[in-house]
Structure 1
């Protein structure tokens, strides 16, 4: 496809970027957070794969089971959505969650954890832990649970596992993280080296979101708020995917280097030319490859028969 005005080929990533920018262009300094959340949910509403959805209270947290056909009852993925701890919900991420669950052949519990600024750190982390313990209360074993999350949700997945470890509780079998936000201090070199390549996320925006989440006196170096600064020993196997165009790329690359130094089994997949959480955009060809890799990793660690996965 070409842009008629410039005769330059328009790629699926270009169209995804325009989709994002069209949302941001609606917002001004006077736009309220509820309007932002509604616009975001509306922009990503819908579901492209056949799943059943069932609302549930997950340890007092609003949740939804997203159920693929013939998914085993004894396995589950807990999904934590992104959105900078300010926006995002089950509604905005239902399609991505459903595609991952469908490809994996596993049911997924997604939650609407509390958002900032109404509920600052550690409210979202507490909700993630409550949902994990809800799964245990349903009779699942930690070895039958995996965590998944994107951006801020990746941060929460890591924070939850670190908190469980610190409290002497058993961590889940594995976790998959898409563009995880691991450093709320935004110190990575990619904030400079990728500033021109990233069409959305600049360092000033990231720091503002961090302040919104942590509060004026919050510590962006606290290990449960910024997992990059934690002792990472004892984490389960991890698969991390990130786009090479992202300013937050080094939140993944630096975290992976530190995790490997702590003897964590972690795999990093860097996708050339990709933007932040590109997996949300099913029209981008690389999304299919990425979701397939996530599903293969999850099936292996949850010991789900490949025959249950979508063909």
Structure 2
């Protein structure tokens, strides 16, 4: 039986969370375990022969739904492809906790890993999680930012609502039209004008290399293209990867799409290269 569609615009957030978990949650992957870092839960994907570096990951879900288990397919594949241990952050969700709560949770995990001796961290995330990864990087003091080997945003959401890609590709049933996106950002920020995930807040000078991936048919394509242009204008080292013919959430279909699998492989090679021993 097909899963019932979720009403992303009107449904109560608690109902959306429960429905999303039913549809997306995966079994606990092999070689994974839960850790607790202060008040933050983290799903650690371990690797048998870890290479230098580690990935800190932020799942998608419009800032209001999702968990490390709803994105365990993505994180398990990324960990295997890179050969790096991966820490998927169970950050606090809106509207219960508005920005900068997810950023604070990410920083707590980074501080914990650095205290344990980690070096060459790469921050990654998809959709809303991609925006969070970038916001975490932007928030770090210089001394901590110096431990980052890179930051990756996969089809990130950055507050644009009337772009050609949203107008042409956004779908209410998929929660990707302008009205749904406006709802997510209003809930994520508490309805204030301050949006740490927006292009204007993220376009800062930084020595941390950035990798941006998006599908050519993604409603959020123009968010990524606009961010890439803004970061390049600030002198950032930006790699832009547009996967042909793919829509939103392409990393969830790696097993059935050659283009998505190739996109994952390209991202993994970029991450591996950034973490390689000097």
Q: Out of 80, 96, 100, which is 1:102 matched to?
A: 80
Structural mapping, 1:1-311, within 5 Å: 22-25=3-6, 29=10, 31-46=11-26, 51-72=30-51, 74-141=52-119, 144-165=120-141, 169-171=144-146, 172-182=148-158, 184-195=159-170, 200-216=175-191, 218-220=192-194, 222=195, 224-281=196-253, 282-303=255-276
- Structure 1 residues 105 and 168: alpha-carbon distance in aligned structure 2, compared to 1, 3 A threshold: closer
3-state DSSP of counterpart to 1:35: helix
- Structure 1 residues 175 and 209: alpha-carbon distance in aligned structure 2, compared to 1, 3 A threshold: same
Structure 2: how far apart are the matches of 1:275 and 1:82?
A: 15
For structure 1, the 5+ residue unaligned runs are 1-18, 306-311
- Does the Cα contact within 8 Å between 1:55 and 1:63 map onto a contact in 2? yes
Structure 2: how far apart are the matches of 1:35 and 1:195?
A: 22
- Structure 1 residues 79 and 113: alpha-carbon distance in aligned structure 2, compared to 1, 3 A threshold: same
- Does the Cα contact within 8 Å between 2:17 and 2:65 map onto a contact in 1? yes
3-state DSSP of counterpart to 2:219: coil
Deviations 1:106-154 (A, max 9, x none): 110011100011111111111111111111111113xx21011001111
TM-score of the two chains, using structure 1 as the length reference? 0.80
- Structure 1 residues 274 and 304: alpha-carbon distance in aligned structure 2, compared to 1, 3 A threshold: farther
Q: Which runs of 4+ in 1 moved over 6 A?
A: none
For structure 2, the 5+ residue unaligned runs are none
Structure 2: how far apart are the matches of 1:214 and 1:298?
A: 30
3-state DSSP of counterpart to 2:151: strand
- Structure 1 residues 195 and 33: alpha-carbon distance in aligned structure 2, compared to 1, 3 A threshold: closer
- Does the Cα contact within 8 Å between 2:27 and 2:69 map onto a contact in 1? no
Structure 2: how far apart are the matches of 1:121 and 1:114?
A: 9
Residue 52 of structure 1 and its aligned partner are, at CA, apart by 0.5
- Structure 1 residues 42 and 195: alpha-carbon distance in aligned structure 2, compared to 1, 3 A threshold: closer
Structure 1: how far apart are the matches of 2:100 and 2:5?
A: 27
Structure 1: how far apart are the matches of 2:173 and 2:266?
A: 24
Structure 1: how far apart are the matches of 2:60 and 2:6?
A: 20
Structure 2: how far apart are the matches of 1:101 and 1:212?
A: 31
- Does the Cα contact within 8 Å between 2:107 and 2:136 map onto a contact in 1? yes
- Structure 1 residues 68 and 39: alpha-carbon distance in aligned structure 2, compared to 1, 3 A threshold: farther
Structure 2: how far apart are the matches of 1:27 and 1:199?
A: 8
Structure 2: how far apart are the matches of 1:254 and 1:128?
A: 24
Deviations 1:216-241 (A, max 9, x none): 3x115x4x231444442114111111
RMSD: 2.7
